[in-house]
Amino acid sequence: MQLSIDQKDIEKFLMIGDKVLIKPKNPQTHTKSGLYLPPSVQEGERIQAGYIIKAGPGYPLPSQVEEHEVWKKKEEEVHYLPLQAHEGDLAVYLQNAAYEIIFNDEKYLIVPHSAILMLIRDDELFK
Report pLDDT digits (tens) over 21-67.
999 987 655 556 666 656 665 555 688 899 999 999 998 887 766 66
Domains of the chain, CATH where assigned: 2-6+14-27+39-61+78-126 (2.30.33.40)
**91 pLDDT higher than 90:** yes
To the question of pTM greater than 0.75 for the whole model, the response is: no
Determine the Cα–Cα distance for residues 78 and 73; give it in Å rounded to an integer.
Answer: 15
Pairing of strands 80-81, 90-94: unpaired
